[in-house]
Amino acid sequence: MKTTIIGMGLIGGSFAMSLRDNGLADHITGVDTSSKNLDTALKLGLIDKVSELESAVEGADLIVLSAPVDVIPTLAVKVLNRVNDNQVVMDMGSVKTELAEMISQHPKRGRFVATHPMWGTEYSGPESAVKGAFKGRNVVICDKEKSDANALETVGTIYSTIGMPILYMSSEEQDLHSAYISHISHITAYALALTVLEKERENNHIFDLASSGFESTVRLAKSSPSMWVPIFMNNKYNVLDVLREHIHQLQIFRKMLENDDEKGLIAAVEKANTIKKIIK
């Protein structure tokens, strides 16, 4: 299968690696606004050649959009304008509502499959690509009824082959749930990192005293702003909703501490502990 990947960062690079390792692509073309990313992807063997968007779309069996989420909607329209009825277009972004609205009336809408693989790290760029990154991770396919059956089958087969269980949701459901289980985690990590940097003026003390718990909590704060700020902005209302609830919970903890409410704290922590029934 001839594949074009637009956006050769962590996700695009890791996906290219997975396609190769599972025999799903015999030729991969890379497209990116960063010549550095493209050069790195070539040197690492993630892609076979570099091309401009127009020529990269022509002749490809599969076109993968793994660019930042604020770019994907317009990019999707540009790509759909150029594809035929045998080509398949898919995206890998974590926000879907604006994309769904942008392409909803496009005559080639059926050739598009909207997906969100639930995987990522705090690192960026093709040099951070991970072998077997997606295996065992869930992937969400959105608005499946709007995609042509053969396009949906192609994308479903790819994800199943690389080891990803598939979930189906609407774009609105996906954005809401992503805000609660992914986007708020990053905001919390950024806020905690800023809190510690503000209060711990001696950076050496942070380094000396940081435990594994602190490191795991703020790990996401190392994630690239070029990826995450567009996500926050494009899923603004869902993120604001979960942020309000998160701040409310923090205020409850603060009030219990102020009031020396040990029983309340124990009850709150025990309730939080029930998350282990869901997350092993």
Q: Which of 24-33, 42-51, 191-200 has the lowest mean pLDDT?
A: 191-200
Query: How many CB atoms within 10 Å of residue 265?
Result: 15
| pLDDT exceeds cutoff 80 at 279 | no
Using pLDDT thresholds of 50, 70 and 90, give the confidence band for residue 105.
very high
| pLDDT exceeds cutoff 80 at 199 | no
Q: 99 Cβ partners below 8 Å, 6+ apart? A: 69, 72, 73, 76, 91, 93, 114, 171
Using pLDDT thresholds of 50, 70 and 90, give the confidence band for residue 123.
confident
Q: CA 178 to CA 219: how far, in whole Å?
A: 18
Using pLDDT thresholds of 50, 70 and 90, give the confidence band for residue 48.
very high
Query: How many CB atoms within 10 Å of residue 196?
Result: 16
Residue 2 backbone dihedrals phi, psi, to 5 degrees: -85, 125
Residue 197: its pLDDT value, please? Answer: 82
Q: Which of 95-99, 140-144, 212-216 has the lowest mean pLDDT?
A: 212-216
pLDDT tens readout for residues 152-182: 999 999 999 999 999 999 999 999 999 998 9
Q: 77 Cβ partners below 8 Å, 6+ apart? A: 102, 103, 106
**Helices (runs of H) and strands (runs of E) counted in the chain:** 13, 8
| pLDDT exceeds cutoff 70 at 119 | yes
Domains present along the chain, CATH in parentheses: 2-169 (3.40.50.720), 174-189+222-277 (no CATH)
Here the tokens at position 41 are 């992807």
Helix (H, G, I), strand (E, B) or coil at 214: helix
pLDDT tens readout for residues 2-16: 999 999 999 999 999
